[in-house]
A = this chain, B = another copy of it.
Amino acid sequence: VNLLLLLEEDFLPDGIVRLTGRRAAHARIVLRIKEGERLRVGKLNGPVGEGRVLRVSSDELRLQVSLTDQAPKRPGVDLLLAMPRPKALKRVLSGAASLGVDRIVLLNAARVEKSYFDSKVIDEGFMRNLLIEGLEQARDTQLPTVFIRNRLKPFVEDELDGFLGPEPSRVLAHPITAARAVPSIAPRRRTAVAIGPEGGWTPFEIDLLTARGFEVASFGVRSLRVEVFVPFVLGWLQAEHQAQTDPPA
């Protein structure tokens, strides 16, 4: 853990932070935190800073915190993901949180196995823990929001435009043989990336999304696992963004 994430309810009225239960035990046993030590902390959906350990006991940890810095800048990316198999979803959630993704919509699609929607991974508390793990890894505090939509067509036709708003570039990632470039993404704009299931989107689904402004784009001909592809795309967008905001001299 590179940052200890604090919740609203961890703050006592005098501003002292008091952790109990699992997190206090983790700090004491795994992180081996001792009185007087300092550690990096952040407030969920808020600023980051430092905490000085006032007291460690078997049942609580008390910190004096000073939250003076902003959480890291975010790439401005939303993901529309065909629901991955549960094992992959776990990695995608913590990975996406560490990469600073804002919103994740888990979608049904023709080639998604229906049983994936019954997985315990999509339990709200379970997902939240995975997301927090990703945030603590990357020293971020902004919890991505996860939406589950098990009917693709109504989501795309009735909800998508309001959901994304007019601003973002809309990109549908599709491995194609002819190496076609990713449509260039204007600097400082938001990007929504739609990523299909293992077997790809069907032609019907591609039509559905392109009718709503998604541009089919190839990020190379390699077919990658979703847990590999998500960071690959984020790296790609980040490099594009940097090239555009900081052009070579």
Q: A242 — which chain B residues lie within 8 A by C-beta?
A: 181-182
Q: Which of A205-249 contact B (CB under 8 A)?
A: 219-225, 227-240, 242-243, 246, 248
- Which residues 127-170 of A sit at the B interface, judged by CB distance below 8 A? 137-140
Contact: B140 with A248, CB < 8 Å? no
A222 to chain B: which residues have CB within 8 Å? 72, 98-100, 138-140
Query: Are A238 and B238 in contact (CB-based, < 8 A)?
Result: no
A2 interface residue, CB < 8 Å from B?
Answer: yes
At the interface, yes or no: A95 with Cβ under 8 Å from chain B? yes
- Contact A221 to B72, CB < 8 A, known contacts A232-B232, A236-B239, A239-B240: yes
Query: B231–A228 contact, CB under 8 A?
Result: yes
A243 proximity list for chain B (CB < 8 A) = 239-240, 243
Which of A220, A227, A240 is packed against the most chain B CB atoms within 10 Å?
Answer: A220
- Known contacts A231-B232, A235-B231, A184 near B224 by CB under 8 Å: no
> Are B72 and A224 in touch, CB under 8 angstroms?
no
The chain B residue with its CB closest to the CB of A95 is: B228
Known A95-B228, A232-B231, A239-B239; contact A223-B181, beta-carbon cutoff 8 A: no
Least distance between A48 CB and chain B CB atoms (Å): 11
Which residues does chain B contribute within 8 Å of A72, judged by CB atoms?
A: 220-222
Contact (A223, B99) CB under 8 Å given A231-B228, A231-B232, A235-B235: no
What 1/0 mask marks residues of chain A from 61 to 80 whose CB sits below 8 Å from any chain B CB? 00000000000110000000
6 A-B residue contacts at CB 8 Å?
Answer: A72-B221, A138-B222, A181-B242, A181-B246, A232-B232, A237-B239
